[in-house]
Amino acid sequence: MSDVEGLSYRSAGVDLDAADRAKGALKELVARTRDENTLSEMGLFGGLYAVPGGVGDPVLVSSADGVGTKLKIAFLAGRHDTVGRDLVNHCVNDILVQGATPLFFLDYLATGRLEEGVVTEVVKGVAQACLENGCALLGGETAEMPDFYSRGEYDLAGFIVGIVDRRDILDGSRVRARDVLIGLGSTGLHTNGYSLARKIVFDVLGLSVEDLVPGLERTVQEALLAVHRSYLPSVRQALLTGRVHGLAHITGGGIPGNLPRALGPGQGARIDTGSWEVPPLFRALQDAGKVMTEEMFRVFNMGVGMIVISSREQADAVANELAASGERSWILGEVVEGVGVEFV
């Protein structure tokens, strides 16, 4: 009985050979992030990681996130080496605010048609950020789903696990009224507010990714693909001293939506908007889109990517520790009795 030529997975849009080649190209990238606790090689059904010693009462902290519509800028620019770094750094910051340092990371990339070079660039960024943050890229998944995503597009998500000693968990219980809020600068929009930013840049201003942003000496792609930074190197030493009462990662929802998550019951915050100069990119977006200031602060980080909370007495010591790491910081405001965030 002779075989009759029929349908194949490839004819349905999934190229298993291309997927195998892409995975082969990733092995070295993943291997570079291994550490002494990594117990598995790439390719197993599950990643194995030993819980490290040296932590008296270890608690695992996990988080998952994505890059959002910032990916649309990467598609338009044809640049895919930054979004993987965005993903890892965002997740690192999300567990950092609870006092945790990262152990390992997993990524998920889904696309309509697998482009081998694109996948390699994305994962290269993930691996680079894992190395920079001292965590292992333990595994991941690349899914090819024809007819689900438009050609040339993909989605990206990440999952992180970190560790903290139970006594060092930051959960708002240490925060007191009159504690000082210390601001740490952002490197741009980070990974939030891109739906509004894209509407302003492309629909209102009619710019392309190669055009200069009005008032800036940077192109659209340079400004909007600036990497979401990790704050782990900056605050690591301050965390070890116990002088940090809380941390707030300023992501979607801005300062009003994120700072209260780091406070205790019945506590609010007063922010001095004159304590820092809002970066020109945010001003350019606000002016072009005629966006109300209150809305800008709800959507964007406005130049503040992380807020450190410390006692008034320890604030100078924390600022010195931040400066020793190369971080520029400033007094942003204070914790007050009440609810919500007041801008003055």
Q: Residue with structure tokens 């990714």?
A: 209
What are the residue boundaries of the structural domains of the chain, listed by start? 16-168, 180-343
Nearest CA among 149, 159, 191, 131 for reference residue 62: 159
Give CATH for domain 16-168. 3.30.1330.10
For the four alpha carbons of 310, 311, 315 and 318, in that order, the dihedral sign comes to negative
pLDDT at res. 5: 64
pLDDT at res. 149: 86
The torsion of the CA quartet 76, 80, 83, 85, rounded to 10 degrees, works out to -160
pLDDT at res. 225: 97
Q: How far apart are CA 162 and CA 100, in angstroms?
A: 6
Q: Could you tell me the CATH superfamily of domain 180-343?
A: PurM-like C-terminal domain (3.90.650.10)
pLDDT at res. 143: 87
pLDDT at res. 117: 85
Q: How far apart are CA 84 and CA 228, in angstroms?
A: 10
Structure tokens that stand for 44 in this block: 């197993």
pLDDT at res. 131: 95
- Is the model's pTM score more than 0.85? yes
Q: Mean pLDDT, consecutive 10-residue segments, the chain of 344 residues? A: 57 55 65 80 79 90 96 95 97 98 95 85 94 93 85 93 96 95 97 96 96 93 97 94 96 95 95 95 96 96 97 94 92 93 91
